[in-house]
Structure 1
Amino acid sequence: WIATEFWYTTGDFSWPWLLLGNGFSHEVWAVQWYEYTGIFGGTLWVLLSNILLYEAWRRRRDAKAWTWAGAVVLLPILVSLGIFWSYEAPDEGSVTVSVVQPNIDCYDKFAAGTEQMQERLLLSMIEEAPAGSDFIVLPETVWPYAYDERYLPQAPVVTKIREILREKSSGAMIVTGAETIVYYPPEEQTETARQNERGAFYDKFNSTLGIDTTACLPIHHKGRLVIGVESTPTWIFKALKFLVIDLGGTVGQLGVGEPGPAFVHNGVSVGTPICYEGLYGNFYGGFVREGARALLISSND
């Protein structure tokens, strides 16, 4: 069963909430030992607990069976409580983070003719962010356009954001979701690449950008995609393309990224996972292994 769950999380079809070990997301106090075993340790715990409790119920008069069942159920909880209550967060300083939520009606967000209005709204909200912010975080796919990464540093919206930061919050970095496009030579095209009307190969990415007053513009490409909305397995993509659901935002088979290097601003390294990536513990931990000391999640939930 655990091998099947592992295959499931690394395969083309993946929905992590179906894993048994993910059933404790509201009872994190009981599974602090996940830092050593991961989600699959929780799956093993659920399976063993159910098997032993069933055997104890079947052999009702066997005290030894009940002892084993009770030990398997309770000992991990006691260990978890010990970890939970003894943990002391190291004092590594702090940063000030402002969150910008435009509250745009989801039915209007992608309606034709609203792009410039939405862009003006977002820029005005960035202007209102507290001047002392170190990071200003915007949602996933918040901008109404897709940006060619070759020209992204010179894009008008990036230029406007930098002007606002110089005037209002020179010490801040904007961490924002965006849809970006990467073009490839024919010999370097990926499995997920598509062709435009001119025959050029490209990938669309659900991305996060780090924009500050410098010329540097780090980009993270989302690496865990929502099945049926952002991703259709390549081996059935052509056959089932017509079934892809349009729920707004970045839709269709997208390019796939990895955790990648952290965004560094004022000496602080931050990871910038996007929405669904937060459901994959090992992938999510990759941002920390790449040097992130804080995680700023962009989502459109």
Structure 2
Amino acid sequence: MLNLSWNITVSYWLCEVRIFEGIGTLLINSFLFLLPVTCWHLFVRYGHIKRGKALSLLLWWILFEYLHHIWDFSWTWLTIGNVFGKNPHWVMWYAYLGVLGGSAWILICNYTIYALARGARSVQQIASCLMMLIIPIGISWVILATKDPATKTTTKHVTVVGTSFTGIDTLNDIQKIAKIDTLFSNPPSFNADITILPETIICEDIWSNKFTNTNLYARLKQNLFRWHTQHIIAGALLNMPSPGGLHTEERMGLPLAYNQYNAALLINHSDIINVKQKKIFVPVDEFLPPYLSFLKVKSYRFSSDTDNPDLFKIDNCSYFICICYEAVNSIFVASHLNKEASALLMLSSESFFGYTEVGRQQYMNICKLRCIENNLPLLKSSNDGILFTADNKGNITAMQRVRENCLINSRINLSTLSFYYLLVPFILPGLVVTLAGILMINAFIGVKQKRKNMLIKNSPIAA
């Protein structure tokens, strides 16, 4: 019941978007959230755990949240540590421990308060509880006060574009680009290094091997001059022929198999198009795992290649390209960064949220946490969502709810990565080793206790 209550509190807006899918998602996630508690009960019972029960529960929960980040049917929106997105200055230490550290802090505070409520409430216990609440916030304020707004002297001019196209629009891709053209003044008021368009702004029949021969590509190349920019990053639905593809269409009377990718295209004055493929998908809507292929549900069934790069190198600076739902996954972002990354560039489409604004606000708050975790500024384009830019402290520097086509011209200070991305590879082995250590310590204590009982039983006094 507590799991269901938590799910409803955080993501009730899903039912406002799609009632039956929303209810199904809430029930499935509530079931999944029972798994770490069940594993803990089994661990304590069959591992004969007498010492470290509370620590074991904490470790099982964090292990569950970690694994929930890396499997292909995750809804990481519900990670407990995401609740601080509205008050990111409380958790500046996410740059060292990440969102899972926030989950651990909340669970420890809850256990401390629970133990205090059950105990004798001594002065020492009350002081410990208050320290557990206050010290992490104090550390955050110290980090905030001493943290530089940027750790590189390089600055870049970036334009993020917001569009208000809906699923019922009859505009083709060239007509959409023509609508965006009207946002750019001539003569220019802003010369951009990079212009970012929303996710899947290009959604017609685009084939990877033929795109450079299309009128749309020629139009985008011309817009480098019209928009006074050196590079355009545009979201696209990209088709690639593949013998074992998930999609088929008929060509000259014969079936052609292909895979479809949700991608970001980097277009500039060269003849080379860099492509970044989306790798973290909204469950069911965008990706259906093979073990659920029997479900007859509507899904884009996107594909992705694991060796496809997530960073674009632009004018000797590296930018991590984040496509919509990928930003919700803390582990994905941190584990796919490298030491050269200097900013996060996001492409999103939020028409999925429909008329509810709660989901959009939560999404923005979660995205701000990625800035703190990785010590990088973030610039987010959007279709029918919230357009914003944020610095490496998670401060919103510019924001606009997209009601009609608009843009934000921003000057950003590039930064260097925090410690967190170095920690991520060690989270899983660290959790497993610690649980194994608890098991071994309790086994040792159990053996020692048995020997002691045997000695007492066989002693002359006992006799």
Tell me the TM-score normalised to structure 1 length: 0.84
Q: 2:178 matched to 1:120? A: yes
Aligned counterpart for 1:163 among listed residues 205, 222, 225: 222
Aligned counterpart for 1:146 among listed residues 201, 205, 214: 205
In 2 relative to 1, CA 168–3 (structure 1 residues): closer, same or farther, beyond 3 Å?
closer
Partner of 1:252: 300
1:4-153 to structure 2, matched below 5 A, reads 4-88=64-148, 89-104=150-165, 106-109=166-169, 111=170, 114-123=172-181, 125=183, 130=189, 132-153=191-212
Partner of 1:218: 274
Counterpart residue identity of residue 75, structure 1: I
Partner of 1:248: none
Counterpart residue identity of residue 183, structure 1: P
Aligned counterpart for 2:262 among listed residues 206, 217, 231: 206
Q: 2:224 matched to 1:176? A: no
Structure 1 residue 42 displacement after superposition: 1.2
Residue by residue over 1:212-240, the C-alpha shift from the partner in whole angstroms, topping out at 9 and shown as x without a partner, is: 11112111101111112111222112x21
Equivalent residues, number:
284
Whether contact under 8 Å (1:49, 1:69) holds in the other structure is yes
Aligned counterpart for 1:265 among listed residues 306, 314, 317: 314
Report the 3-state secondary structure (helix = DSSP H, G, I; strand = E; otherwise coil) of the residue aligned with 2:163: coil
Report the 3-state secondary structure (helix = DSSP H, G, I; strand = E; otherwise coil) of the residue aligned with 1:240: coil
Instruction: Considering fraction of residues, name the structure with more strand.
Output: 2
Q: Distance in 1 between matches of 2:278 and 2:204?
A: 17
Partner of 2:422: none
Q: What is the root-mean-square deviation in Å for CA atoms of aligned residues?
A: 2.4
Q: 2:255 matched to 1:196? A: no
Q: Which structure's relative contact order is higher, taking Cα pairs within 8 Å and 6+ residues apart?
A: 2
Structure 1 residue 155 displacement after superposition: 2.6
Q: Distance in 1 between matches of 2:333 and 2:134?
A: 28
Structure 1 residue 270 displacement after superposition: 2.0
In 2 relative to 1, CA 37–271 (structure 1 residues): closer, same or farther, beyond 3 Å?
same
Residue by residue over 1:105-127, the C-alpha shift from the partner in whole angstroms, topping out at 9 and shown as x without a partner, is: x1433x4x655533432455568
Residue by residue over 1:127-169, the C-alpha shift from the partner in whole angstroms, topping out at 9 and shown as x without a partner, is: 8675611111111111241311112233321122112324663
Whether contact under 8 Å (2:174, 2:216) holds in the other structure is no
Counterpart residue identity of residue 234, structure 1: P
Q: Distance in 2 between matches of 1:16 and 1:86?
A: 31
Q: Distance in 2 between matches of 1:228 and 1:126?
A: 37
Whether contact under 8 Å (1:271, 1:294) holds in the other structure is yes
- Which structure 2 residue ranges, 5 or more long, are not aligned? 1-60, 351-463
Structure 1 residue 285 displacement after superposition: 2.8
In 2 relative to 1, CA 103–45 (structure 1 residues): closer, same or farther, beyond 3 Å?
same
In 2 relative to 1, CA 157–131 (structure 1 residues): closer, same or farther, beyond 3 Å?
farther
Q: Distance in 2 between matches of 1:44 and 1:208?
A: 35
Structure 1 residue 290 displacement after superposition: 6.4
Report the 3-state secondary structure (helix = DSSP H, G, I; strand = E; otherwise coil) of the residue aligned with 2:346: coil
Report the 3-state secondary structure (helix = DSSP H, G, I; strand = E; otherwise coil) of the residue aligned with 1:282: helix
Tell me the TM-score normalised to structure 2 length: 0.57
Residue by residue over 1:23-65, the C-alpha shift from the partner in whole angstroms, topping out at 9 and shown as x without a partner, is: 1111211111112212211111111110111111222432222
In 2 relative to 1, CA 23–172 (structure 1 residues): closer, same or farther, beyond 3 Å?
same
Counterpart residue identity of residue 195, structure 1: T
Q: Distance in 2 between matches of 1:53 and 1:182?
A: 55
Q: 2:300 matched to 1:240? A: no
Whether contact under 8 Å (2:277, 2:310) holds in the other structure is no
Whether contact under 8 Å (1:17, 1:23) holds in the other structure is no
Whether contact under 8 Å (1:140, 1:298) holds in the other structure is yes
Structure 1 residue 267 displacement after superposition: 2.6
Report the 3-state secondary structure (helix = DSSP H, G, I; strand = E; otherwise coil) of the residue aligned with 1:96: strand
- Which structure 1 residue ranges, 5 or more long, are not aligned? 245-250
Structure 1 residue 262 displacement after superposition: 2.3
Q: Distance in 2 between matches of 1:6 and 1:32?
A: 20
Residue by residue over 1:220-268, the C-alpha shift from the partner in whole angstroms, topping out at 9 and shown as x without a partner, is: 101111112111222112x2132x3xxxxxx521013557252223333
Whether contact under 8 Å (1:232, 1:241) holds in the other structure is no
Q: Distance in 2 between matches of 1:208 and 1:126?
A: 22
Counterpart residue identity of residue 201, structure 2: V
Q: Distance in 1 between matches of 2:322 and 2:96?
A: 22
In 2 relative to 1, CA 79–115 (structure 1 residues): closer, same or farther, beyond 3 Å?
closer
Whether contact under 8 Å (2:184, 2:226) holds in the other structure is no
Structure 1 residue 70 displacement after superposition: 1.8
Structure 1 residue 286 displacement after superposition: 4.5
Q: Distance in 1 between matches of 2:80 and 2:115?
A: 20
Please tell me whether Structure 1 or Structure 2 has the larger radius of gyration of its CA atoms.
Answer: 2
In 2 relative to 1, CA 150–221 (structure 1 residues): closer, same or farther, beyond 3 Å?
same
Q: Distance in 1 between matches of 2:212 and 2:223?
A: 15
Structure 1 residue 75 displacement after superposition: 1.6
In 2 relative to 1, CA 225–127 (structure 1 residues): closer, same or farther, beyond 3 Å?
farther
